[in-house]
Amino acid sequence: MYMDEKTGLPVVIEDKCTACNACVKACPKDIIELWPVGRKSQRIYVACKNEEKSGVARQECSVACTGCAKCLEECKYDAILVENNLAIIDFEKCTLCAKCVIVCDSENIKADNVPAKTLDKLIERQRKKLEKEKEEKEKKRQAARSEKTAEASVTKSEKDAI
């Protein structure tokens, strides 16, 4: 095990890990946990377990969860819970679809050994979804403006008639 200088998080050298749980018990900040390995050694996990609110948590951990719950909304398998400003993955329910990884703005949810092709497809779908949402919001704004303009012209017509 070593500390990643970029994230400030411990990194387990998996080839040497025996899953004895000693590091989990010894961790003074309770940030280490054992994750089950999925098919083809794929794994989805929360990289930072800091439960502080986002600003404070970010000072301690660059990938701290903001508690936004986008991952919770995206997961169709009820495999994610957000509690104390932290996403928690239920590994029994997780299907490794990686949709939570894509929507996580803080990059706190990570995927190991998930094919890049799979992640690229998900990123493209998410981009299209966001574009569509943006277009729908713009249409609603335009409709609201048109409605206000119509109301204003009716009011002006009524005044002119008087």
Look at residue 162 in the predicted model and tell me its pLDDT.
61
Mean pLDDT value across residues 70-87: 91
The residue segments making up the domain with residue 123 are 116-162
Supply 149's token pair: 């303009």
121 and 139 both lie in a single domain: yes
Q: Does the pLDDT at position 70 exceed 90? A: yes
Q: Which residue has the higher pLDDT, 29 or 134?
A: 134
Q: Report percent pLDDT > 90 for the chain.
A: 17
37 and 106 both lie in a single domain: yes
Only one residue has tokens 């990123």, namely 123
Q: Does the pLDDT at position 36 exceed 80? A: no
| CA neighbours closer than 13 Å in the CB half-sphere of residue 131 | 6
Q: What is the pTM of this model?
A: 0.61
Q: Does the pLDDT at position 161 exceed 70? A: no
Q: Does the pLDDT at position 74 exceed 80? A: yes
Give the domain-ending residue among 75, 91, 114. Answer: 114
Q: Does the pLDDT at position 158 exceed 70? A: no
Is residue 81 within 8 A of residue 90, CB to CB? The reply is yes
Q: Which residue has the higher pLDDT, 106 or 58?
A: 106
**In sequence order, which residues have a C-beta less than 8 Å from that of residue 106 and are 6 or more positions away?**
54, 63, 64, 65, 66, 68
Give the burial class of 105: count Cβ atoms within 10 A of its Cβ; 0-12 exposed, 13-18 middle, 19 or more buried.
Answer: exposed
CA dist 95 → 7, 84, 99, 162 (Å): 27, 24, 10, 68
Q: Which residue has the higher pLDDT, 127 or 94?
A: 94
108 and 140 both lie in a single domain: no
How confident is the model over 83-100, as pLDDT tens digits?
888 899 998 899 888 899
Strand partners, 81: 88
Only one residue has tokens 């998080």, namely 9
Instruction: Taking the CA atoms of 51, 57, 58 and 61 in sequence, report the sign of the dihedral they define.
Output: negative
73 and 129 both lie in a single domain: no
